[in-house]
Amino acid sequence: MKSKDARERWRAIEKAVKHYAEKRDVVAATVDELEAACRALVAKRSNALKLQVEAMASAKAALHDAIGAAPEWFEQPKTQTAHGVKFGYRKLADRYVFDEAKTLALIEREGGRLRSC
């Protein structure tokens, strides 16, 4: 049988658990309210946002065309910055292109051995 002191400690634990559960439920209710408000805001603003993104894409295409029509402005430096936008030409990353037929011929010529570079 548990001692009276042990039962008192158990009651204290149960009381603390109940208190914690109540506070957790309050937090969960607040989170639910915030999520509902967020969903309502997204629903209210999504059409406007879609139109703004379409307008931005159109402006980007116009910028691309304007840059292509005046390449002399982008010889040195190849990029410019104005109004917080970096634009112009950029060097693409180096890449290796292999001719498969030539590569196979080289391997056969070397007797299947690969040379180190």
Query: What's the pLDDT tens digit per position in 56-105?
Result: 999 999 999 999 999 898 888 888 899 999 999 887 777 777 778 887 77
What per-residue confidence (pLDDT) applies to 100? 81
What per-residue confidence (pLDDT) applies to 40? 93
CA 51 to chain centre: 21
The secondary structure element, H or E, covering residue 14 is helix 4-69
- Alpha-carbon gap, residue 88 to 12, rounded angstroms: 70
pTM (2 d.p.) = 0.51
